[in-house]
Structure formats: C-alpha cells, structure tokens
Structure 1
Amino acid sequence: MKKPLVALSIIFALVAGTITAQKMTKGGEIPVAVKNAFKKEYPQVKKVKFDDENGTYEAEFKLNGKDMSVTYTANGTKMETETSMSVNELPKSVTSYVAAKKYGKIKEAARIVKADGSIVYEAEVKSGDLLFNENGTFQKLNVEKD
C-alpha cells in the first residue's frame, strides 16, 4: 500500500512543479505568443523569469554576462529591450547632468532599445530613474512607487 502512495506523491509533486513553473510571479499565465517570441529571438537562453507588468510581459534573463529584460505585448510584439551596463559606459553628458543636478551616485545604468530602434539611457539614482535620449539629453525622471 505504501508504494502506490509514494509513487502518487512523486507524480503529484512533479505535476505541481511543472504547473508552478509555468505560472508567472504575479499569478497569471504567460501567453503562448510571448513565450514563442522570446524563444525565437533568444533560443540560447535557458533560464528566464516572466512577469506580468499590467498587461505587458517582461522576460528577465542573463546573456553574455549582462542582465537583460525584454518587454512584450500579449500577442508577442516586442516593445523594448533593456541591457544593463556599467556607469562608465553611459554617455559623458548623462554622468555630467547627474553630477550637475546633484542627484547623487548612479546605482545602476541601462541601455534601452525601443521597438522603433530609438535608444534611451537609464541612470538609477536614489530618487528614481533618470531617462536620457540617445544623444544623452535629459528626458524625464521616473519616480519609483512602492
């Protein structure tokens, strides 16, 4: 009697683990179109975390030693790709602006490529994320809300 219960428990655990792995962090399902778009563009990536960002879907992963994320619409259309970078890689005009406006130390930096090919640089400071266009001209401050 114990063997069937053990076997049933193992099967249940495997099925539950598979179902949980397919769930997103915030409880919804990942649209198949999003998964397929990601797999097509990044077939070499084996470990990815998906999040529901209020109707858009973000895939977070590492590639070539860089933290990256890609945001998709529900139908699998790519909206943007964000790649981490060192603060030293930011355009000089970005670091100069942050210093001149006394925002403090830049904690993290990223290069964002929008679907239309435009580039945005992001500099994370204590008060939020400073966004700059591809020429390094300040655009706006996104304040983090917890």
Structure 2
Amino acid sequence: MAFIIEVVRRLDQVAAQHHIMMTYEACCHYELPWVQTADELLRIYNESGAKNLKLVLDSFHMNIAETDMLEPIRKIGNLLDSYHISDSGRGEIGTGHINFVAQYKTLQEVGFKGYVFLEIVIPECRPYKLPMNDRQITEFIRQNQYSKKMWEAISS
C-alpha cells in the first residue's frame, strides 16, 4: 500500500502539470490484490495528498468487498467521480440481489453529480472477453438497454 500511495503522489504531480484529473477504482480481490474497499481508496487519497484524484465505486465490486453497500458511497461522498453498475453476478439490473433503489438514494444523499457507467458482462464473456458472435452481441446490447431503462426509472 505504501508503494501505491507513493506512486499516486508522484502521478498527482504530473497530473497537475498537465491539468489532468485522475481516478482510482476499488476492485474486488478477483481482479486485483490491493485497493478493494472505500476505506483503502480513502487511505490512498488522504496519505498521498493528491489534489488531482477522484475516486470510483462499483456496485459489483462492493457486493464482494464491502459488508455494507451504502456506507462506501457515504464515506467517499464528494470525492466520488463515477459510479459503475452491474448486478451481483455482473449481469443486468435485476439479475442479482443489489438494491439499486437504495444505492441511487444514497448517491443523491451525498450530492453525487458524476457519471454512472453500466458494466454489464454476459455469462459467456466473463469480464476479459468481448462478445464474439451476433447472439452474444445482441444479448449484451439487450442487457445494457434494459439496465439503462431500469436506472432511468429509478432516477426519475
């Protein structure tokens, strides 16, 4: 963690020179061995002193790495740059157990104004493989369109 904090500190200096805002996302242990929770993101932010750093949370990763899926949103608060959405099995909204209504309300509670990204992964294409045929592409598009429609319904 000390190495990551020092790297972020150094990158922040370069980012400042080039007017770049950096982001750092917490990812579960299935993808990365470090920085899996909101607390770890906040540690990096605070200890690096980075002024050009915003933080990213992801519903799928929080479902695995956090014991409470709303508290990380509250902890990150105005440092939250973007929010990534997929259900607990990485599929479309409604295919798992994540409470997106509660997440939306908590995002509103902290005054979130950033981007929301859909990160839907169909079963045959676990996250490092793109859809490879027309059927997979059609299903990928369908799940994304459905999730977009559901998120818009929650947020209206």
**Structure 1-normalised TM-score?**
0.28
Higher strand share: 1
**Structure 2-normalised TM-score?**
0.27
Higher RCO (Cα < 8 Å, 6 or more apart): 2
Q: Which has the larger radius of gyration?
A: 1
Higher helix share: 2
